[in-house]
Structure 1
Amino acid sequence: MVRVALIGIGNVAAAFVQAIEFAKTGKEIYGILNLPIKPNNIEIVAAFDIDKRKVGKRLREAIFTKPNVVDKYIDIKSNDIIVMRGPTLDGKVGILSSIIEESEEKPVDVVSILKREHVDVVINLLPTGAIKASAFYAMASLEAGVSFINSTPSPVAKEFGDKFRDRNLPVFGDDLLSQIGGTITHAGIIEFLKSRGVKVLRSYQIDIAGSTEALVTLEDWRKDLKKGIKSTFISSYTNGAEIVAGTSDYVEFLKDRRVSYMVIEGMYGIGVPIRIDISLKTYDSINAVSPLIDLVRLSKLLMEKGIGGAIKEVCYYYFKDPPERAKSIMEAKKGFELLLSNLL
């Protein structure tokens, strides 16, 4: 059994909780690794948030509480844990101050809770830009002897990798790649074009969604942070092409749906132009489910073998902004598969 704590009970948490329930009913989750630890062996034993609409509620109720917009896919019957009050720190700055209704309860002692519940893995699902809060939970995990998965753009794996390695605890990050989102699709198409001898000159990506994450990313500093990470990730698989990628707008009625538009321009043959226009429509939070299920189980397997730190093969395969980058998606895949073969 892998015992998990969730930090931030937003849309991704809502999708993840439902996916674990989905697995416990015997249904298949597409795109996950075949590991000795199965998805139905994941148990969510602690959850933290700062919104008074969620704090004090059962997790199965909190995941469908505003401002969450994830659809209900399955009835949650196996989880009655109560969402606890975490520290706010920078989790409510800027536009978040008008979205979050901050709980008046006193924050709990996070380290004590992690120890009391014998947590194996913490998943950080805080909003983009909550850098101090992400660092706090990373340090709490270190103190409690717990592995850490950083789904956010906050530089946790980069800055805390050595500390986790010293404690033989895995830390994965930063900024989770979607299973089949705009960024990985965009990079994959560019890599395919390169393999066919196309010289990619320029490309851009626009993402539109109706989630809270899309709304807060309208703030210039958060938008620049996300745009920088996405653009750098895609650019790393090109040879000097001009790349611009990032969330551009919030459309409330889209809710958890995300629409990504990509345009790729280049030359081939004797120098004639090629242009590819793509429209990709996905469910944003569901895109995190399969990668997170893999990462939770990999964390546990690595902990059992006493392997800690920011494992580069995991980080550059599953994240947009890892401490070290692979030269290509294929190289990342090969490196990760080699790690798996040694691990299993």
Structure 2
Amino acid sequence: MYQHKKQLVVWLTALTTACGGTVDEAPPEAEPGTVTAFAEEALPGQPTATLFNSDKPGIVQFDATGDKVVFQPASSEPLQFQDWKAFAEFTQKKLNARVHFHPKTGELEGVSGDYVIAGAPAIADAETKALHDVVNPVGAFLGGLKGYIYVGGEPVCVRPEVCGDVQLPPRGGVEGKDLPGEGPTAQALRHATVGTGTFCNASGFCIRGYSINVHTLFNWTSSVTERVSGGTRTERFFCWKGFIPWVCSRQVGEPHTMRVIVTYVDLLGTAFSGGSSTASNTEKVERGSFWVGPFNPFSPPAAVRAWATCGAHSGSTASGGTGTRKSDIGVVRCP
């Protein structure tokens, strides 16, 4: 039931469309505000922990500004869990995840959560002394460089962009690029659309936005607002913190602020859940949801129920705002 090989359908796109207009208010369930989580020190054999809002189970906040949040375990070996119960206990403790049980049988169904992140996280590779960009913070927290965890001795891919066949994030200006594949995740059932989507203010501060919707054993949906040029630039480089491979950084440029608003749409075309986040002087700000495991079709979590992900992206510096553009991906239309 938990076999990672039995992938479902994958929908992925990373397209910022040139929709005009502005967004003055967040959706009803939005939680505006600045990301305020901080990374703890990394321990040997463990990924860095994050401070989460324990008053709201299911929500985890990452702070990847500066040199915070190294997602790689100190050991390059994948995390090992005796069974799914042990995995659920770990994610509940480390990611503030919700643990789901079948209402009738009591069987463990999986774990889910919502996250918000500011900054552009990277993984430090001690072997090659290189940095690797992270586009999937929850998957990277769990899967490290290789993208796998082991549950009961079986590998489970939690970074499909690394150990699967999903291409992330959008790069360049190629439109409508199909991904090769066979079986249940063949071209007929999934695709990737890549667009630059860059828009700017008068001073040359430019951003882009994109939305992600991935359905495998690791379900994941999010919207991202990302700095392209101008504003505050974060320069990262490999370094050591004691004996731990680390990500060091320095910031240069003009102060800026970015915002992302995300809304999910179910199969009936009904908008639900979502929220907004704002961050200052970061490379990106993102909101998303995740689910690992099978699910109850009568009560699916947000990351499974979201058959469309809708984003709104904006930013500003002292010289003025960029305006707002929208991104969307899914099998149903965004409102």
Task: Specify the TM-score bucket, using the shorter chain as the normaliser.
Answer: under 0.3
Report which of the two has the higher share of strand: 2
Report which of the two has the higher share of helix: 1
Question: What TM-score results when the alignment is normalised by the length of structure 2?
Answer: 0.27
Question: What TM-score results when the alignment is normalised by the length of structure 1?
Answer: 0.27
